[in-house]
């Protein structure tokens, strides 16, 4: 099993209690399930009371730190919600459940605006060139991503992000707010910096989280980081240092209107390409589709087709950014998570005669493998907006030239939730009790 570099690990004596995360996070489903099991007891009132506290690097014991596992669906939302609601009533777990649905909201919202993310990626090089043309601005940008600004606490978040691949939700909000309103840097480059360093880096939660802070999600509603709100939630990590020492006295005291740089077309509503529901009955499935290979991607590492396929292939990681490669920590996490999935799938279908490609494959090798093994069709989990979707859409055409079809299947969870994610979170949030009931995630006693 691939191990992450120990150079990035934290001093274990800093951990705080049995459910404090073990850095670096192990990239396996078992590790995700262990983390969930260790957190479940805290997912009720404890989370509701303490979730806003950013205790500092390696000490995030009031939140779940499940996001890298959820991001790649190494564990999925229904497992997390189900286990939490086994131990807590919906009322006690209200906040935690709501946060999980925030993830679903952002994912769904971006599905309804599927041109936004590609357009944002397309604009990134020009955005970087633009600030490179202004030496002062470029210097500010370089200091920000190096964690060398005059705002000490901002620098500390920057280093924490690079070392651990994680930041507390509030630290993300403060970081983004200072980036946009104090340092006056483009949100696009901040979002790009985050997605390359966050282990949970996600086109939806990250891009839309930055746009929310900048006031581009809800028109006119910006988020301002202030010394007061930072002190209220991060006092422990500030270690009695004054505003001057931390640079909090330099924070902008007002926000401003951030210009929308994405073209109007990028913000247009688009139709979700709802795939047909999965077939029932294995034999019918097989005879309709010929020799089928299951394609595993980093977007969903636990999805399984309804019948045993003839083959399993795992697609290599997709680049998250049009500007630069992801951090070593992210690359290692995703690569090892894919390998963990490949081994699990091989084990899962061990009783059936299933061919499993020996390692993750790039596009070219994947097509060759399918041709070599005379496959007729590839089936994979629905690919949400992001780099893997674009890549697999490109593959679809190449496969078609070889007479190989590509079919996607969607999880019921997404099918239920996403139709309600096209407007504000409130519209989706008010349906949470209904979702829990329909998906039998909470059985009333
Ligand atoms: C600027 C910015 C960028 C962000 N980028 C990402 C990102 O790339 N990937 C990502 O998964 N989240 C992102 N978030 C959302 C949130 O910060 C993280 O999901 C959360 O901090 C993960 O830590 P946790 O697992 O300990 O969360 P917990 O508090 O334990 O919450 C449980 C789960 O709920 C979901 N969740 C919680 N809060 C949010 C939220 N505000 N939005 C969406 N989902 C949420 C996550 O899947 C999380 O694992 C971003 C937020 C901001 C403000």
CATH of 282-410, one of 3.90.400.10, 3.40.50.620, 3.60.20.40, 3.20.20.105: 3.40.50.620
Rg over alpha carbons for the chain, rounded to the nearest Å, is: 22
Q: Estimate the crossing angle of helix 227-238 against helix 169-177, to 10 degrees.
A: 130
Question: What proportion of the chain, given as a percentage, has pLDDT over 90?
Answer: 87
Atom number of ligand 1 nearest to Cα 206? 5
Mutate which of 49, 67, 177 for ligand 1 pocket (most atoms within 8 A of beta carbon): 67
> Distance from the CA of 227 to the center of ligand 1, in angstroms?
22
Nearest CA to ligand 1 atom 38: 99
Q: For residue 260, what pLDDT is reported?
A: 97
In the predicted structure, residue 8 carries a pLDDT above the cut 80: no
Distances from the Cα of 96 to the Cα of 64, 348, 439, angstroms: 9, 31, 17
Q: Closest Cα partner for 256 from 180, 174, 185?
A: 180
In the predicted structure, residue 10 carries a pLDDT above the cut 80: no
Structure-model confidence comparison of residues 122 and 358, the more confident one: 122
Distances from the Cα of 319 to the Cα of 34, 113, 119, 197, 387, angstroms: 28, 21, 16, 12, 7
> Distance from the CA of 200 to the center of ligand 1, in angstroms?
8
Nearest CA to ligand 1 atom 16: 169
Mutate which of 54, 208, 209, 221 for ligand 1 pocket (most atoms within 8 A of beta carbon): 209
pLDDT in tens, 204-242: 999 999 999 999 999 889 999 999 999 999 999 998 999
Residue located via tokens 């564990």: 75
pLDDT in tens, 313-351: 999 999 999 999 999 999 999 999 999 999 999 999 888
Distances from the Cα of 350 to the Cα of 13, 38, 92, 310, 441, angstroms: 41, 30, 41, 12, 30
Atom number of ligand 1 nearest to Cα 168? 21
Q: For residue 278, what pLDDT is reported?
A: 72
pLDDT in tens, 261-306: 999 999 999 999 999 887 654 444 444 669 999 999 999 999 999 8
**Second CATH level (architecture) for the domain 6-111+418-438:** Alpha Horseshoe (1.25)
Rounded to the nearest angstrom, the gap between the alpha carbon of residue 26 and the centroid of all alpha carbons in its chain is 16
What integer is the mean pLDDT of 84-102? 97
Q: For residue 2, what pLDDT is reported?
A: 32
Q: For residue 3, what pLDDT is reported?
A: 33
pLDDT in tens, 56-84: 999 999 999 999 999 999 999 999 999 99
> Distance from the CA of 94 to the center of ligand 1, in angstroms?
16
Domain ranges of the chain: 6-111+418-438, 116-267, 282-410
CATH of the domain spanning 116-267: 1.10.579.10
Task: Share the mean pLDDT of the chain.
Answer: 92
Q: For residue 201, what pLDDT is reported?
A: 98
Q: For residue 277, what pLDDT is reported?
A: 81
pLDDT in tens, 366-403: 999 999 999 999 999 999 999 999 999 999 999 999 99
Q: For residue 426, what pLDDT is reported?
A: 97
Ligand 1 proximal residues by C-beta, below 6 Å? 51, 63-67, 70-71, 99-100, 102-103, 106, 169, 172-173, 176, 194, 198, 200-202, 205-206, 209-210, 213
Phi, psi of 392 (to 5 degrees): -70, -30
> Distance from the CA of 223 to the center of ligand 1, in angstroms?
16
In the predicted structure, residue 244 carries a pLDDT above the cut 80: yes
Q: Closest Cα partner for 329 from 137, 170, 196, 180?
A: 196
pLDDT in tens, 143-197: 999 999 999 999 999 999 999 999 999 999 999 999 999 999 999 999 999 999 9
Nearest CA to ligand 1 atom 22: 67
């Amino acid at each position: 099993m691939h191990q992450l570099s120990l150079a990035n690990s934290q001093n274990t004596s800093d951990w705080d209690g049995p459910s404090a995360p073990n850095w670096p996070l192990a990239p396996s489903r078992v590790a995700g399930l262990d983390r969930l099991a260790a957190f479940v007891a805290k997912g009720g009132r404890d989370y509701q009371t303490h979730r806003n506290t950013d205790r500092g690097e390696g000490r995030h014991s009031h939140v779940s730190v499940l996001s890298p596992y959820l991001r790649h669906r190494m564990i999925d939302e229904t497992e997390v919600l189900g286990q939490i609601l086994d131990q807590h009533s919906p009322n006690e777990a209200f906040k935690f459940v709501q946060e999980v649905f925030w993830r679903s909201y952002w994912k769904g919202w971006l599905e309804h605006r599927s041109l936004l993310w590609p357009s944002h990626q397309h604009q990134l090089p020009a955005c970087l060139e633009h600030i490179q043309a202004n030496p002062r601005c470029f210097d500010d940008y370089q200091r920000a991503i190096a964690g060398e600004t005059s705002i000490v606490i901002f620098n500390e978040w920057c280093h924490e992000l690079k070392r651990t691949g994680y930041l507390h939700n509030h630290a993300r909000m403060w970081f983004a707010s200072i980036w946009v309103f104090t340092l006056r840097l483009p949100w696009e480059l901040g979002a790009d910096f985050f997605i390359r360093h966050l282990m949970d880096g996600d086109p939806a939660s990250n891009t839309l989280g930055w746009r929310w802070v900048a006031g581009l999600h809800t028109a006119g509603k910006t988020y301002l980081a202030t010394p007061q709100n930072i002190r209220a939630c991060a006092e422990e990590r500030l270690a009695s240092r004054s505003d001057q020492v931390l640079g909090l006295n330099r924070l902008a005291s007002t926000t401003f209107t951030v210009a929308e740089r994405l073209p109007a077309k990028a913000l247009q509503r688009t139709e979700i390409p709802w795939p047909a529901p999965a077939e029932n009955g294995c034999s019918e499935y097989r005879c309709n589709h010929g020799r089928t290979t299951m394609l595993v991607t980093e977007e969903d590492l636990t999805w399984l087709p309804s019948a045993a396929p003839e083959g399993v292939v795992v697609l290599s990681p997709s680049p998250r950014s049009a500007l630069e490669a992801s951090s070593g920590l992210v690359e290692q996490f995703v690569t090892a998570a894919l390998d963990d999935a490949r081994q699990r799938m091989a084990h899962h279908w061990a009783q059936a005669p299933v061919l499993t490609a020996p390692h993750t494959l790039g596009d070219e090798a994947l097509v060759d493998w399918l041709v070599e093994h005379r496959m007729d069709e590839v089936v994979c989990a629905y690919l949400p907006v992001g780099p893997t979707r674009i890549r697999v859409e490109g593959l679809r055409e190449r496969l078609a030239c070889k007479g190989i079809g590509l079919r996607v299947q969607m999880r019921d969870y997404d099918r239920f939730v996403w139709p309600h994610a096209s407007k504000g979170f409130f519209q989706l949030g008010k349906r949470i009790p209904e979702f829990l009931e329909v998906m039998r995630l909470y059985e009333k006693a």
